[in-house]
Structure 1
Amino acid sequence: MEISQEQIQEWKEQYGGVYKLPVDDKVAYLRQPEMTDFKRAFAAMNKGGDIAFGEEMINSLMIGGDPEIKNDIDYFNPARKRLVELFEYDDAEVTDAKSNKTQIKIGDQKCLVRMITRDDLKTAERKNPAGKPFVTQEKLFDAICVEKDEAFNDKNNPAIRMPLYKAIEELQNKKVAWLEKL
């Protein structure tokens, strides 16, 4: 299926980013994912495993190309395995600041967070009774954030949210633990 450069340009204007996903003699065109796409896909994965994750991502993101990539297992399997590349975001830079605070920098965007307490974790978990993906991290960030650049207000931007959540996870796990059977 041939897609014109004009169509690709239209998609870029509409969706921000466009990916080409060739699989042998077929091609899918995917729009740039948003956090809502990742949330739905991880929720699907919790219920149906890796296949469900791939189905949700391809179904949500595919904006053009050959439908066999969605419908034919011989094309779907290799396509879904490439989706991991959609998670390639800049890493956050995490640096200690004064008074038990930490600066998290993602690209040119910065925020300052305070130390995470056990009560913060409990409260964030209580605010997500359904256990929806990424909601606990959102609530935890809201609780510990002291100051932030405007970009951190966009809860649907995975280029900020994915590295932010990874950084917050690292802050929770500064110490290493293991269990030994004696």
Structure 2
Amino acid sequence: MGGFFLTIKNNKTMSVTQEQINEWKEKHGGVYALPVEDKTGYLREPNMNDYKRAFSAMQKNGDIAFGEELLSALWLGGDEAIKTQDEYFLTAKKVLIDFFNYPDAIINNIAKGKTEILIGDERCVIRVITREDLKLSEKRNPTGKPFVTQEALFNMVCEDKTEGFEDVKRAEIRFPLYQAIESLQNKKIGQLKKL
């Protein structure tokens, strides 16, 4: 099989082959090539645990730490310069934002103040979110870990859900879900005006 990228491992040159990419796909699901000019890295698809690690790093050490942590967590192989040399890393960090481009959830009001949230083929029904729900979900996250409050809130207000909502690692479900729940908390429009 033809090589896609030459990389050095233990001072030996080897190529990332289609066979290697197929093995990664079988093990990790989605696999992405990340070309930055003349270098290429290979990443697996992120899950919520990866995002939690990256956002925790960002809370402690800023945006650069976010990029370093996410790139490190997803890295399968390729040219290490993407991780180690600033001129490659800074571009790669910016490209990683593309992982956040998940389709929006569809939000439908249904009977008795309940809301249906549709994400792809998955569906859940939640009740009205109250101030008390928000307080309780915040209390369940005393250390302020990323996404813990949102998950606690969802568990409190969810009345029915399809199987896809059971897997808390599925970022393609969780990000649109959390955005939908956030939008449901902010139905009214307000604006502060100086008088």
1:23 Cα deviation from its structure 2 partner: 0.5
1:30 Cα deviation from its structure 2 partner: 0.4
Alignment partner, residue 38 of structure 1:
51
Alignment partner, residue 169 of structure 1:
182
Give the counterpart of 1:155 among 155, 168, 184. Answer: 168
Render the CA deviation track for 1:123-158: whole Å, top value 9, x for unaligned.
Answer: 000000000010000000000000000110100000
Alignment partner, residue 53 of structure 1:
66
Alignment partner, residue 88 of structure 2:
75
Percent identity, please: 55
The structure with the largest strand share of the pair is 2
C-alpha distance in 2 between matches for 1:58 and 1:135: 22
Alignment partner, residue 16 of structure 2:
3
SS of the residue corresponding to residue 83 of structure 2 reads helix
SS of the residue corresponding to residue 126 of structure 2 reads strand
Alignment partner, residue 145 of structure 1:
158
Render the CA deviation track for 1:56-100: whole Å, top value 9, x for unaligned.
Answer: 011110110001100000110000000011111121000001011
Render the CA deviation track for 1:3-22: whole Å, top value 9, x for unaligned.
Answer: 10010000001001101000
SS of the residue corresponding to residue 33 of structure 1 reads coil
Aligned partner of 2:108: which letter?
T
* Matched positions, count: 182
Alignment partner, residue 178 of structure 1:
191
Structure 1 runs of 4+ off > 6 angstroms?
A: none
**Higher gyration radius (CA):** 2
Alignment partner, residue 76 of structure 2:
63
SS of the residue corresponding to residue 112 of structure 2 reads coil
CA RMSD of aligned residues (A): 0.7
C-alpha distance in 2 between matches for 1:10 and 1:179: 55
Aligned partner of 2:149: which letter?
T
TM-score of the two chains, using structure 2 as the length reference: 0.92
TM-score of the two chains, using structure 1 as the length reference: 0.98
Give the counterpart of 1:105 among 110, 114, 118. Answer: 118
